[in-house]
Amino acid sequence: MLRNRLFFVMGLLVIASVILSACGGTAPVATDAPAVVEEPAMTEAPAMTEAPAAEQSSFTTPHPILGDLRVRQALSYCTNKLDLIKSVYPLLTEEEQASLVMNTFIPRAHWAYAGDENVTVYEYDPAKGAALLDEAGWTLADGADFRTNAAGDQLSLKFTTTSAAFRQTWAAIWEAQMAECGVQIIRLHAPASWWFGDTTGLARRDYELGAFAWVGQADPGGQTLYACDQIPLPENGWAGQNAMGWCNQLASTNIKLANNTLIKDDRIAAYTIVQQEFAKDVPSIPLFNRTETFATAADLTGFAPFPGQEYYNYNVQEWAKAGSDTVVLGFTQEPASLFTLVEDAFVANIAYQIARPAQETHLNYDFKASLVKELPTLENGGTTNNDVEVSEGTKVVDADGNVVDLAPGVFVLNAAGERVEFTGGTVTMKQLTSRFEIIDGLTWEDGTPVSSADLELGKTVSCDPESGATSFIICDKTASTEFLTDAVGYIHTWVPGVQDPLYFVPVWPIYPSHQLGDLPAKDWATDPRVAEKPLAYGPYKLVEWVKGEKMVFAANEYWVGGAPASPNFVIQFVTPESAEGLLLSGEVDILASESLAGLNETLKAAEEAGKIVTYTEAGGTWEHIDIQLFLR
């Protein structure tokens, strides 16, 4: 459960991080401004012929080819996304392949997607692409392979991506597609260390066309990617992730509003405008979602992985194997510890959540209450966003998202959403307060009811530097937590200035205070009751861990949801080489995305023979080609 909101609640505010590269983002800021900025419709999308800011000296010259909107649109029309998908996922059905196509920077299954009908969709149409290139002055002479302009320059573009076999496969197909439209693509497959380096490649905008992936999250974020003030330049120390140099003021205003309002409908409206402008301007060509693959025994029931749900075992209590009292999940990696506050490996969290489920789910990228009675929102009254007067010395979040002590010279966002400099006296700011209540009947495996003291212990350990925790973002941004006596839960108040769109997500984990309340934080990581056999409040309890072999779980008789569908659950540790064979022989019932490289001929043949069932879901990670709009 801990990736448990404690550390990645704030991380969800950023739509993605570059694969193999560190994640970046800006904190949300307060505003009472309208959630959508409407402007008169433009008769023609901006062609990006001006620098994003006149005072900037670098990257102010429009790219002589890609600075023309018609060329960018032509590249989109000449891209057959389905063929790219087929090249890397040939075993998927046509329906599955089609479901992976992306039209904007938000997956089509996401709650914030604008809808195909609301954005410009570039269906594969090379004739339309060719016509746009002709109009832009790039014509194809008789017998020529590539287009030229009136000056005789050839339409040639450098395309940079990684050397990964996956990208080499689809990039070769895309190069051929562009050649069919008369565009020469010069491919450069660079080492990831250069492409994603801190001072090279993407970080220094050293490309014309660049392909990589973003890792999507339940919250779209996107401010660091698409706002005008997030364009990296030498003058600003290369800050920001908008390496394309895309500055569309309408989109920029709305991407900020989408991240600075707490009302979901207002966020959707703002994101719709950003996507519309993004699709019109084509600063990037979104291609397709990467997949996650799962395979189970044919007679396993209840297994239902969902897009947007980080942990596929959210409904483990519903899994059952026909004719067996045990379900076996294969892991090719063994957890080092189940103290997930410090051991954040995916397999550790999967194992942990079998005994201690998360307090919320996010199926299809949408948050739902699980172990809390409801997610406290402004709409249902569970959260209030109050105006408070703050004075010098008060801990606040400043206008740039940093936790500081208020002092003269500090810039903050006032209750009206205006950036103001504090000069003394008081300033009115927004402050969020939410009430979280745990569902009735949640009980530890030893029969002790879960209490508010268990949540208080969760806060204490999570915020104690001696526990081994590596991040204290939530702790630093907490003004106070009042633990309830009339219910199991707490009232959480953020420091003034926190306006987190995910304010309604549960904050503190649940730890057994009756068992561990006297354990010093410095000893938690090594105590077997924490690291090796955490007390359960979920559908299963861990009864045995044979290192290097298996973890054995049995039904928790005190689980509030009743008896799980299978009385026993086992995580079997297997080698990558043996995993598929064990599944096909029936010794393992489930192999999930962390243990499977993907769908292959062996698995497909076994499914056709009725031995297994495979699931291929559109993951949050998505491939795209960014377009450099300006030259140095």
The pair of structure tokens assigned to 611 is: 């031995």
In the chain the domains, ranked by start, together with CATH numbers, are: 50-290+623-631 (3.10.105.10), 299-357+538-610 (3.40.190.10), 369-494 (3.90.76.10)
The set of residues, in sequence order, having a beta carbon less than 8 Å from that of 555 and lying 6+ positions away, is 539, 540, 541, 563, 564, 566, 567, 568
pLDDT at position 632 is: 81
Could you tell me which of 283, 286, 73, 80 has the C-alpha nearest to residue 177?
Answer: 80
Model confidence band, residue 50 (pLDDT cutoffs 50, 70, 90): very low
Model confidence band, residue 239 (pLDDT cutoffs 50, 70, 90): confident
How far, rounded to the nearest angstrom, does the alpha carbon of residue 91 sit from its chain's CA centroid? Answer: 26
Contact between 542 and 536 under an 8 Å Cβ cutoff? The reply is yes
pTM for this model (two decimals): 0.77
Q: Is the pLDDT assigned to residue 197 strictly greater than 80?
A: yes
Least confident of 91-95, 356-360, 566-570: 91-95
List, for residues 119-145, the tens digit of each pLDDT value: 999 999 999 999 999 999 999 999 999
Angle at 226 between CA 222 and CA 232, to 5 degrees: 115
Burial per residue of 169-204, b for 16 or more beta-carbon CB atoms within 10 angstroms, e otherwise: ebbebbeebbeebbbbbebebbebeebbbeeebbbe
List, for residues 440-491, the tens digit of each pLDDT value: 999 999 999 999 999 999 999 999 999 988 678 899 999 999 999 999 999 9
Model confidence band, residue 40 (pLDDT cutoffs 50, 70, 90): very low
For residue 605, count other CB atoms closer than 10 A to its CB.
13
The pair of structure tokens assigned to 320 is: 């059952």
List, for residues 507-551, the tens digit of each pLDDT value: 999 999 999 999 999 999 999 999 999 999 999 999 999 999 999
d(CA 158, CA 104): 23
In this structure, are strands 590-591 and 360-361 parallel, antiparallel, or unpaired? Answer: unpaired
Please compute the mean of the pLDDT values over residues 311-329 and round it to a whole number.
96
Contact between 612 and 296 under an 8 Å Cβ cutoff? The reply is yes
DSSP state at residue 23: B
The set of residues, in sequence order, having a beta carbon less than 8 Å from that of 192 and lying 6+ positions away, is 20, 162, 163, 164
